[in-house]
Structure 1
Amino acid sequence: MPPKLELIAAACENMGIGINGGLPWRLKTEMAFFTRMTTDTKDKDKKNIVLMGRRTWDCIPEKYKPLENRINMVLTSQSLNYGDKAIICKSIPHAIEVIAEMQNQVERVWVIGGSRVYKDVMGSPYFGRLYLTRIKKEFKCDTFFPPIPSGFVLIKDPTVPQHIQEEKGIKFIYEVYEKK
């Protein structure tokens, strides 16, 4: 049984998640949280997968590709080859098949974008949890997080800070959702 897909994202007050292929904000604390959540494993012999759409992959600066200490997996209908940097999958069900074959090597699967991948996974039977950082400010964005389905409820996760964080005068809070 492959692990459930866990979504991780940061969205500002208008639910924006990106602009011009980048992040609208620079928050080191939030980026460190993303890195810790998507990298850390309990079993040191396993790694986490970061699953993303092709445009999200394209938006990662070249010097950070592949995302370190994680198995990078890219969803695309195009015939692309990223060599040993990333595994290409044609669809979410295809990714689930590949993940199932690797389950002895994989602890968690993190979906890191973009909008369509988030939406598709939230509506799929593979959904596990949503880790959403709410940035308490509005930024100009051209990419947005999809509406959170009505059956999702806030839960507490002991690995996630519970209180409002602040950096560079910008407040943000970490939220964790599961399906009812």
Structure 2
Amino acid sequence: MPKQHFLYLIILFFLSCTKEEDPLPLDCAGINGGNSICGCMDSTAFNYNSDATHDDGSCQVHVDNGDFYLSFNGSNSNVDLGDMIDQGSYTKAAWVKRYYGYAVNNNIISGNTGHALFAPQSQGAKLSAGHNGDYFIVQDTDSIPEGVWTFVAVTYDANVASGTMTLYTNGVSGCTSHRSGASR
């Protein structure tokens, strides 16, 4: 009888010590054996993946609060807003971040009615503005700094001293011209 008990104990031991199967591998969402497709699920992001079933936090330039920017590589990059500046008085303003060598003219805002706000490399990347064929009616004495966000603006008042054009950099008036050539 003791041999029989010993045999039962051995069988019981082997039955109670069965090896668990290896767990299924985790998918990118952390689900055992899952088949999630991970990626950016934000349709406003540049790297949006319409096939993604799990957002993996990889979204780039997520635009949810109106704070965004456009980046141009200097090769036929532009935004065409049509002819939206009045032929009279106007204000143009933009936040810019200049990179040396990206664009010969560093065009900021110009239009098909003959006006420009730009920082041409040929002029040392100095903020310049004008219209009617004279695009250097006003020009800042300093270059727009490289790699730094800078607020630039130009105002033109057709009713003051036969046309007054003023440049602003980071809110500070840099150059003003009162002349008949500044009139539109």
Q: TM-score, normalised by structure 1?
A: 0.24
Instruction: Choose between structure 1 and 2: higher helix proportion.
Output: 1
Give the structure-2-normalised TM-score: 0.24
Looking at CA atoms only, which structure, 1 or 2, has the larger radius of gyration? 2
